[in-house]
């Protein structure tokens, strides 16, 4: 079931080629369908959240978009090609724990790997590098400045806080000036202040550089004001649409086939009540 | 050794270089130290020290078997270490680095079991070859007297090949080590790079075993790299420092071993341990100072 109408008053969807098109796709893992009959479309510069309970296949969707996992039926097109074909134009931040505190490598080195880490060979010492190396260094500094990580980029990454690590990894994802950012729970393990500042950072980048963002979130509230679309995943399908149409009792109850309530607290935050976890649903 | 120390350094060096076996030991030691300093840095970063040690121990039955069959021990070391590396690479974990999420507890159990079996086989070969017992110490704890000319040639060829391959894969290897998921999305063949690294590790372990013995490879494979990574978090500088420490420790260790009755393995290991302790001390001191400074800044603000 797909909901694609847009709320009145929102800008019309961009007319140029979409960044991601998913057409009736199904993903299978370990012999069972994680989700099926999923169709989506994401345009340039759109800020889209992927929501849903644990284990429902949000990370799987991102991996399918990156071509790390083939879909069993249906089709996905990313930046006009098959998934994985244009990954050099995509910035990716996988779901992860923090780096081990004893990891002895600097944040700036990790950011730099995002630029040319896939090239064979050994980087030359800075003095022998010439112009190309100077350009690369400038780009690293620029992107570290952009995410506000200059103060700790030269510390071993294991000694940076969760929020600092996340900013450095976002810098790594941004360094090739991507047209699409694929972020798997970037706000997870951040405190409320950092959640707010990292999400507004991502929004600003999306706006100023016209970068489409596909972001998995556990809690929609920190990003709710910025969202163009949300994708709600459930076992067997997905719903996509503007947040105020999708995160409603009716749509979610229909998607999950059980009664679900969406409540709003005094601060305007959304709370989804009665949402089954993926395993309970699987038993059904 | 048979000669005495005069405490006149030029005289002593002259004396040392007048023995062909000693020249060979220094040549072999230098090659081995450079290779294991470089490979060891990545091994420590990837947290694959246990695999590295196992590959070295697997070399022991190889060398013992080679002696029993009357062929060069070098062939035994390289053959077994490389075979071991291929086996570990084909395990389900594929020798995946342990840095990222999801370590490989099951894999280390398998690797540990293989290590025990390798040691047992080595002892079997030793007892099959009667009268070999004096050589047992050399295989396990190293020797400086036993390096023949052809062995130096083999070490050189293996070492240069190893370093060339490392130079080609270094950057994607670093990427696959610290950030395997992003590296894979960026098109790095993570599995292939990890397998290639295991083979390089096998070559390094086989070479190092021939100097320090199978049980003391950590003196050159781990200690210099661990010390270097405590002194710097820059990868390029880290590799350079690790090589420098490994070479220094080997030269000094071999020099002392020449003039002392105790085996080379002991000296190289002790020196490497001392360097590691010093580096760990420096790190702890620097961290303490940094904490003090940031505390002062915060109180002042
Ligand atoms: N390699 C795998 N083999 C089989 N099942 C898997 C594998 N990886 C993940 N799964 C299952 O796929 C489902 C979706 O996983 P995931 O996409 O990580 O969920 P989410 O990100 O929404 O929490 C989960 O139920 C998980 O158990
Ligand atoms: Mg997930």
3-state secondary structure B151-182: HHHHHHHHHHHHHHHHHHHHHHHHHHHHCHHH
Distance from CA of A29 to the nearest CA of B (A): 17
Given a cut of 70, is residue B49 above it in pLDDT? Answer: yes
Q: Tell me the CATH number at A46.
A: 3.40.50.300
* Ligand 1 atom at minimum distance from A52 CA: 22
For residue range A146-186, what is the model confidence (pLDDT) as tens digits? Answer: 999 999 999 999 999 988 999 999 999 999 999 999 999 99
Residue A34 Cβ < 6 Å to ligand 1 = yes
Domain boundaries, chain B: 9-222
Structure tokens at B37: 């300093």
Strand, helix or coil for residue B100:
coil
Write out the residue range of the structural domain in which residue A183 sits.
20-98+179-273
- Across the interface, whether the CB atoms of B175 and A113 are under 8 A apart is answered yes
Q: Between vectors from CA A14 to CA A12 and to CA A17, what angle results, nearest 5°?
A: 150
Structure tokens at A255: 């998607």
Identify the nearest ligand to the CA of A50 by its number: 1
Look at domain B9-222 and name its CATH class: mainly alpha
Spell out which residues of chain B touch residue A105, defining contact as CB-CB under 8 Å. Answer: 45, 178, 233, 235
What averages of pLDDT result for each successive group of 10 residues across chain A (284 residues)?
A: 45 69 94 92 96 91 96 95 95 87 93 95 80 91 94 94 92 96 91 90 94 93 93 86 90 83 82 68 39
Look at chain A and report how many structural domains it folds into: 1
Q: Half-sphere exposure of B299 toward its Cβ, with a 13 Å CA cutoff? A: 6
Say if A167 falls within a structural domain. Answer: no
Given a cut of 90, is residue B10 above it in pLDDT? Answer: no
Say if A122 falls within a structural domain. Answer: no
pTM for this model (two decimals): 0.90
Q: Which of B46, B97, B100, B185 to probe by mutation at the A interface, max A CB count within 10 Å?
A: B185
Say if A117 falls within a structural domain. Answer: no
Question: Cα–Cα distance between A88 and A76 in angstroms, integer?
Answer: 17
Say if A81 falls within a structural domain. Answer: yes
Report yes or no for ipTM above 0.90.
no
The residue among A136, A99, A86 whose CA lies nearest residue A114 is A136
A189: part of which helix (H) or strand (E)?
A: none
Say if A170 falls within a structural domain. Answer: no
* Whole-number pLDDT of residue B291: 84
The residue among A217, A254, A248, A192 whose CA lies nearest residue A48 is A217
Say if A132 falls within a structural domain. Answer: no
């Amino acid at each position: 079931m797909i909901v694609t109408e847009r709320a009145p008053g929102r800008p019309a969807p961009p007319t140029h080629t979409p960044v991601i098109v998913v057409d009736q796709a199904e993903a299978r893992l370990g012999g069972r369908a994680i989700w099926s009959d999923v169709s989506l479309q994401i345009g340039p510069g759109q800020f889209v959240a992927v929501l849903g309970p644990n284990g429902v296949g949000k990370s799987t969707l991102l991996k399918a978009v990156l071509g790390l996992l083939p879909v069993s039926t249906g089709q996905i097109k990313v930046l006009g090609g098959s998934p994985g074909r244009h990954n050099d134009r995509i910035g990716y931040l996988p779901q992860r724990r923090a780096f081990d505190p004893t990891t002895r490598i600097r944040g700036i080195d990790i950011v730099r790997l995002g630029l040319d880490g896939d090239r064979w060979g050994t980087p030359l010492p800075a003095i022998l590098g010439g112009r190309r190396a100077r350009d690369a260094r400038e780009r690293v500094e620029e992107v570290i400045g952009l995410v506000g990580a200059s103060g700790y980029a030269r510390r071993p990454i294991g000694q940076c806080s969760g929020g600092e690590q996340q900013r450095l990894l976002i810098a790594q994802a941004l360094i090739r000036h991507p047209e699409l950012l694929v972020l798997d729970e970037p706000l997870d393990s951040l405190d409320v202040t950092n959640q707010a500042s990292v999400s507004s950072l991502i929004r600003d980048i999306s706006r100023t550089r016209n970068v489409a963002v596909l972001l998995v979130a556990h809690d929609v509230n920190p990003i709710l004001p910025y969202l163009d679309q949300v994708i709600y995943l459930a076992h067997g399908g997905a719903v996509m649409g503007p947040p105020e149409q999708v995160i409603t009792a009716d749509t979610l109850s229909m998607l999950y086939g059980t009664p679900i309530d969406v409540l709003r607290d005094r601060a305007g935050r959304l709370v989804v009540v009665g949402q089954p976890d993926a395993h309970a649903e699987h038993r059904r | 050794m048979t000669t005495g120390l005069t405490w006149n350094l030029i005289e002593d060096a002259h004396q040392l270089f007048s023995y062909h076996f000693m020249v060979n030991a220094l040549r072999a030691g230098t090659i081995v130290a450079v290779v294991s300093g470089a490979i060891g840095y990545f091994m420590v970063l990837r947290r694959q020290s246990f695999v590295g040690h196992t590959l070295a121990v697997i070399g022991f039955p190889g060398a013992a078997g080679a002696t029993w069959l009357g062929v060069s021990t070098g062939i035994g070391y390289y053959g077994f270490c490389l075979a071991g590396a291929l086996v570990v690479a084909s395990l389900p974990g594929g020798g995946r680095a342990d840095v990222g999420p999801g370590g490989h507890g099951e894999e280390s159990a398998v690797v540990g079991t293989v290590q025990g079996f390798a040691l047992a086989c080595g002892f079997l070969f030793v007892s099959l070859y009667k009268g070999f017992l004096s050589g047992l110490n050399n295989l396990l704890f190293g020797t400086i007297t036993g390096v023949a000319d052809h062995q130096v040639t083999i070490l050189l060829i293996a070492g240069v090949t190893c370093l060339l391959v490392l130079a080609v894969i270094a950057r994607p290897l670093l990427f696959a080590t610290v950030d395997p998921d992003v590296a894979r999305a960026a098109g790095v063949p993570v599995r292939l790079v990890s397998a290639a690294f295991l083979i390089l590790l096998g070559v390094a372990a086989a070479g190092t075993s021939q100097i320090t013995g199978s049980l003391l490879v950590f003196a050159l494979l781990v200690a210099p790299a661990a010390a270097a990574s405590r002194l710097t978090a820059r990868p390029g500088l880290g590799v350079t420092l690790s090589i420098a420490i490994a070479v220094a420790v080997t030269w000094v260790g071999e020099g002392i071993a020449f003039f002392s009755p105790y085996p080379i393995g002991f000296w190289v290991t002790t020196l490497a341990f001392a360097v590691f302790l010093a580096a760990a001390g420096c790190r702890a001191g620097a961290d303490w100072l940094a904490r003090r400074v940031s505390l002062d800044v915060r109180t002042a603000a």
